[in-house]
Chains A and B, each alone.
Chain A
Amino acid sequence: MKRCCVLILILLVSCAPWMKVGGVYKNTKEQYSVDLPQDWMKFNSNEQLLVSRDGPLLQNIIVERVDINEELEHTKKKLQKSMLPQEASEVIIDNISSDSEVLNFNIIENIPITIDLYPGFKIFFTYNNKDGLNFRSIYCGFLSGDWLYTIKYTAADRHYFQNDVAEFEHVLNSFRLLSEGK
């Protein structure tokens, strides 16, 4: 019986969809590292790095690498290696604004930034979902070869966005491409 309980416990822990994280996180497959906030929870997924403190619907930070040759989800427009950050940001904006789950999409700011010395973009926007919940989002990214690296923060407009935006800025500023990815 005891053995059985231990097995179940191990199974539960090993298959847990969320695990506590904090500090430097290296993704050798996608060739980047970031410094994650302490005691946030990371969703176990091979697709992307998703972390949250209170639950992904309240606030989440997502880091991912996207192949620019893959089709975008909501527009047939494509990213190109030769694009300036502004041009890439416009394709991303068209993709987001064509997403039917993003209602009343409104861009607050779209500015050039540097991410780990790479020229990139930072789009700050608001929207609401069909249940009427208001969200604020920051979408940062840059092109490197055939990849678009993105670091995104989305949180409920009320309380959560402002509360954790500094944590996001820390993650953004800590982003580094690993040497093989450069």
Chain B
Amino acid sequence: MRGGVLIFFILLFCSSCATTNLKPVTEDGFSFKDDEKRLWVRSDEEQDVLNQSGLIYQDQSVTEYLNTIVAKLCQEEMDEHIAFKIYVLKDPHFNAFAFPNGAIYVHTGILARAENEAQIATLLAHEMTHCTHRHAVKNIRSIKNTTALLATLQVTTAGLGGGLDALANVLGTVGTMAAVSGYSKNLESEADKEGLGLMVKAGYDPNEAPKLFLHIKEELEEEDINEPFFFGSHPRLNERIKNYERLINQEYQNNTKGTKNTETFLKYIQEIILENAELDLRLGRYEFAEKGVEKYLQLNQNNHKAYYLLGEIYNRELENGDIDRSISYYQKSISINSSYPDPYRELGLIYYKQEKKTLAKQYFEEYLNLSTEAQDVEYIKFYLQQI
């Protein structure tokens, strides 16, 4: 992929000394340029790969809900030129990005950590502004000298960490630019300002806008990443927070009537919170996983899967693991839903390793009764033979 990125940028570099002074799609006299049209074609191709990757979260009600937020944010003149569409990507890292053609990809990680609709509206409005203000083509055209070209490529392709290198592997050039390397400081600032205007016009509380950054900060500190990547890498995080606060103080200080839509948001997002916790667990990000499950349990106290995941977190975590605690969570899971097989297997394994054969046998047999077609049936049969 990295070779492809290089060739793509070099071709664009060679062919485009065109202006970066492009009107937003909302202004009179706007027209798409040839290099922009090529960018859209490439975006379509990259989206095809992404949409068939198995990484798209398939819950129609959630994507419909997110698209209704976009509809609230969308001004009539934007709609004429760009058909915005939201996709949710199964990725626990805190990120979102937009292709220039209006396809916006939001990670489960950002949805699971946001507190209300106003915060997500801030994110979506920001990404929509990248599209309406044609930041992708401006960004590429602005790469006018070799040093800048090389610097961009370094940012695009270097060992990125924090899930970004992984994301870059599956994305193409346009997606990588939007999701990984981000846009220039000026373009990001423009997206902040215009996006904030859109979310306020749509009736959201502007004071919620900077709060997303607290979650970003948390992730950056936890993952030991120096540069923020959400909304691009510039300006730096603290500067970004100050920009938002300044904008709110200057332009929206008296706006206290905006909505947050917390309840509606959490109603639609709650299952994503649990699924995202499972993704964090798979990555061994135990603290994030635990926070996710606890957030979910505040919304839905009697969920067997949530307690099973807590059991898994304490069972798998090496440094702060606690087998007794994990046993109690598995038992709680069973007490809520006695036909859910997974905690039986885990209890069987714990007792098998502790050589408590009777208990191990009891839980393994129950697991086999409930889960005849599980992929690990052969292991359980093997353990039962050993007991």
Q: Which A residues fall within an 8 A CB radius of B?
A: 74-78, 80, 82, 84-87, 94, 97-101, 103-105, 107, 109-112, 130, 132
- Inter-chain CA distance A112–B377, complex, in Å, is 10
Nearest-neighbour CB distance to chain A for B107, whole angstroms, equals: 13
Complex contact B169–A100 (CB within 8 A): yes
Complex contact A86–B53 (CB within 8 A): no
Q: Is B54 an interface residue (CB 8 A)?
A: yes
Interface secondary structure of B, over-half rule: helix
Residues on B with C-beta less than 8 A from A104 are 52-54
Flag B71-115 by CB within 8 Å of A: 1 or 0 each. 000000000000000000000000000000000000000000000
Residues on A with C-beta less than 8 A from B284 are 75-78, 94
Residues on B with C-beta less than 8 A from A74 are 166, 283
Complex contact A100–B349 (CB within 8 A): no
Residues on B with C-beta less than 8 A from A100 are 166-167, 169-170
Complex contact A86–B376 (CB within 8 A): yes
Complex contact B169–A86 (CB within 8 A): no
Q: How many residues of B sit at the interface, in one of the four size bands?
A: 20 to 34
Complex contact B349–A103 (CB within 8 A): no
Complex contact A103–B53 (CB within 8 A): yes
Q: Which residue of B lies closest to A94 (CB)?
A: B282
- Inter-chain CA distance A127–B158, complex, in Å, is 26
Q: Is B11 an interface residue (CB 8 A)?
A: no
Q: Which residue of A lies closest to B53 (CB)?
A: A103
Residues on A with C-beta less than 8 A from B353 are 82, 84
Given contacts A77-B316, A80-B318, A105-B54, contact A111 B282 (CB under 8 A): no
Residues on B with C-beta less than 8 A from A111 are 378-379
Q: Which residue of the partner chain, among A78, A99, A103, contacts B55 with CB atoms under 8 Å?
A: A103
Flag B146-187 by CB within 8 Å of A: 1 or 0 each. 000000000000000000001101100000000000000000
Complex contact B283–A132 (CB within 8 A): no
- Inter-chain CA distance A130–B170, complex, in Å, is 6
Q: Which residue of B lies closest to A123 (CB)?
A: B375
- Chain B residues 52 to 71 lying within 8 A of chain A, measured CB to CB, are 52-55
